[in-house]
A and B are shown apart, each in its own frame.
Chain A
Amino acid sequence: MLLMKIIRSDKPGTWLLAILLVVSIVVPVLNLLVPENSAFHLSTYTVTLLGKYLTYALLALSADLVWGYLGILTLGHAAFFALGGYAMGMYLMRQIGERGVYGDPVLPDFMVFLNWQELPWFWYGFDQFWFAALMVMVVPGILAYVFGYLTFRSRVTGVYLSIITQAMTYALMLAFFRNEMGFGGNNGLTDFKDILGFDLRADSTRIALFLASAAALAIGYVLSRIIVSSRLGLASVAIRDAESRSRFCGYRVENIKLWVFVFSAIMAGVAGALYVPQVGIINPGEFSPLNSIELLIWVAIGGRGTLYGAIIGAILVNYAKTYFTAAMPEVWLYALGALFILVTLYLPKGIVGLRSMRREKT
């Protein structure tokens, strides 16, 4: 009942969930039931693209939770996304089995290529889906916990915190580029064949992944909404606006920050895990600090501190990116740069803030 109350009080969120529901009914119908020569047919490529946008939206949602409600400008959120992606990639890699180029039943191709004799210990268990699914959440969660525990306890805030989150993702990127790490080095993990026994290239699998992404986004949204409406959420907003005062009022600032941060990291990990089977590759480039910063602009354009704004921003910017990089690639960086500048200067509340801004004027 509490849930219903929360959802009812969040009108834009309700709309968003409704749209998501409609899309997840219409898209499979248009792809599977409408014949290919019809004008209404949706190609599998488009379905995958939409699925990718949804995972990005989930990532943006997780970043908004940390930035919009906790006031931490994280420049390393893509690290959690990539770690979740790698966990899923390892599962998919083990599923290839003997179908790899070298045909080794256990070792992935790149290990055979590097002349490794046996599987490194951290690859154990990834042949089981449940284990991989667990790791998708556990690994980013643990990293966020350790990182957050250290930094929040020593009261590293503001710009310093931003910069060391960037250092974290940068260090991870350099580490994953190394062949010795055992994650495929430069090339990352790719050439996936199937997931849970279903062929990854089949239309139905693609649709299923799309639906899973939509479901994950819906669940992530509802959970985030519950958190921000709860006392925990209110306390984190208090911390965002006046950290010292909240501390003096007796709130355990470190713990509140830590749990929201860890939850957000887990959500980002899930987003990464859903991203990898749809895109078909995960490599160290996903850790690059540039990705983390770009993701912030999705949130900023949509409107931070609203949750639904992040989702809208992620989908809009990525649609624009797909369009521009295909139509006029040299313009894209100008456009993105201009977006960064204009949004921070003139749209501090993002697109969803436009309405309230107009209301304030009149």
Chain B
Amino acid sequence: MSPFSIAALVRKPISLLLFLCMISVPAPQVLAEEIPDNDLLDDAWKTLPSKNYNNKAKALETIARQNPPQALPVMKAMLEGQLYYSKHDKALYFLQETGDNYTFSPVFSGEQISQENRRGFKKVKVNNRLRSTIRQLLAVMQLKHKDADIRLAAVQELLKKPEISASHLIKKAVESETDSRVTTAMQTLLAVIQLEKGDETEQRSAIKTLSQSLNSSAMNALRDYQAPTETLKNAAQSAIKKIDDKRDLYAKAETIFFGLSLGSVLALSAIGLAITFGVMGVINMAHGELMMIGAYTTYVVQLLMPNNIGASILVAIPAAFIVAGLVGIAIERSVIRHLYGRPLETLLATFGVSLVLQQTVRTIFSPLNRSVETPQWMSGAWQINEVLALTWNRLYIILFCLAVFAALIMVMKKTTLGLQVRAVSQNRNMARAMGVRSTWVDALTFGLGSGIAGLAGVALSLLTNVGPNLGQAYIIDSFMVVVFGGVGNLWGTLVAGMSLGVINKLLEPWAGAVLAKILVLIFIILFIQKRPKGLFPQRGRAAED
């Protein structure tokens, strides 16, 4: 035993306990490594082409026990249905299909045969039971694989159908194991086996080990457990409860994570709206379409650099900001400028703008949905434990939202533009009297808000399909977030977005997605009655009316 694993065992008292029990148990004989016996092995190889599945299973066990170099590839080929035998001498061959060509390469010795059909060869037949046996045997053989992930997968495969025969091997494997994840999984597996077959002391320690685990097989083992005594039964029950509680906790954590990621999207799409709304009192109905423009920019950037999907998102972020920002400034200069002081009319005019933008996109890109490819570094998930896995793209979107938000706060608090924007939003006339060029500030603020809408579009393009109706789907939600958070308050928007996202996801399990959304809408309508200016109303000296 290596010093490293002793240290690992000492660090975890339970492992030590388990280790001590292991020594006391006599090793079961099946699947123990045997002295190489070539006759037995030859017989086994010859049995494979036969028709009797029981015999085949026994033969495979023999092969696994002897573990010749051909064992692994043969078993894998059997699983994939690519192990054949020639009809005349029953010799085993691997099949390789390349186009119209079938190549049969022999397992042992002989010539490679290449032909246009499978004439002269027959498949080694496998049924479902045999398949699961093969998987188990493969798992046992892979317990010593170099790659820790493969070892882990092997242990998890064994956990699906724990066999007492494997316990000896695992005990040996756990001693030389260096990866802590694999060690834990192996200990769980051993405990499951002991729970079924061991004596009372073993069962007690097994229950103790299993109560630490989150694995569903561990859970099932505890559920099926026939306790010989009352104390053990109680121990098992409390272990089940402990696991249940833990799994519940992680499930809740996952729900909150989903809620936060939904909330980030909401907050991202609402922040831009909050700026234009808060500063200029302008309801921009074309905001959703600016998000759509951001999403289409991402799509176009990917088209321009098809060999570099990973970097394309990074290029798309500034590109989307600039494109959407410019479109926003154009809207402000051509339409909104003429409508200041008439917020309700602005709403209608910008709605007209949104229709025109939608139709333009439909004309240019066709009404069909386009999809943006998720880069490699954003796919997959961060597996925290067996129950909790956080997908990378959601995690990045949360981070992205926070980064955009932080940058925006910096702009608002630390730059001259931010100072002027705040001044205009608090009291337009006074700001103008102090020499702030309010029209210039308006245009830039609108551009800034639109640019952020474009950034939200980049995030959305990674979550859903990009289509002309993308904006419409999000505009009402963004309004709700702004109104809920309080106009002109960026922190309010962030808090409102996140809390609406989490509320939505918390309601979903028992109400269903649609009803959850309806409930949230009703909640906001009622909330506005209580606090007509949102969660965090803007305080200023501007008189109402």
Contacts and interface: CB of A to CB of B under 8 A. Distances in A.
Contacts of B472: 290
Given A164-B483, A166-B479, A344-B348, A334 B532 contact: no
B338 A345 contact: yes
B362 interface: yes
Secondary structure of the B contact surface, majority rule? helix
A343 B351 CA distance: 12
Given A333-B355, A337-B354, A296 B528 contact: no
B356 A338 contact: yes
Contacts of A8: none
B345 A330 contact: no
Contact of A163 (B339, B353, B358, B483): B483
A339 B363 CA distance: 19
A242 interface: yes
Interface in B517-542: 517-518, 521-522, 524-526, 528-530, 532-533
B351 A340 contact: yes
A338 B359 CA distance: 11
A341 interface: yes
* Chain B interface residue bracket vs A: 35 or more
Given A171-B522, A174-B514, A334-B359, A344 B343 contact: no
B348 A167 contact: no
A343 B339 CA distance: 12
A330 B363 CA distance: 8
Given A337-B359, A338-B352, A340-B352, A167 B521 contact: yes
Interface in B334-365: 335, 338-339, 343-349, 351-356, 358-359, 362-363
A3 B277 CA distance: 45
Contacts of B349: 340-341, 344-345
B281 to A, nearest CB: 8
Nearest to B544: A244
A344 B472 CA distance: 21
B483 A242 contact: no
A178 B356 contact: no
Interface in B463-516: 472, 476, 479-480, 483, 514-515
A223 interface: no
Given A162-B344, A167-B476, A345 B528 contact: no
B25 to A, nearest CB: 57
Given A154-B529, A167-B521, A340 B348 contact: yes
B89 interface: no
B116 interface: no
Given A160-B532, A167-B525, A177-B514, A337 B356 contact: yes
A156 interface: yes
A289 B352 contact: no
Contacts of B530: 154
A290 B469 CA distance: 12
Contacts of A340: 348-349, 351-353, 355
B529 A344 contact: no
A341 B524 contact: no
Contacts of A345: 335, 338-339, 349
B347 A73 contact: yes
A150 B356 contact: no
B356 A155 contact: no
A162 B545 contact: no
A175 B518 contact: yes
B452 interface: no
A337 B344 contact: no
18 contacts: A150-B526, A154-B529, A159-B281, A160-B532, A163-B283, A163-B483, A164-B525, A166-B476, A168-B521, A171-B517, A171-B521, A174-B514, A174-B518, A300-B348, A330-B363, A340-B352, A345-B349, A348-B345
Given A159-B343, A164-B525, 7 more contacts: A153-B529, A160-B528, A168-B521, A244-B545, A334-B359, A337-B353, A340-B355
Of all A-B residue pairs in the complex, the 8 with the closest CB atoms, nearest first, are A340-B352, A337-B355, A337-B356, A171-B521, A333-B359, A341-B352, A344-B349, A73-B344
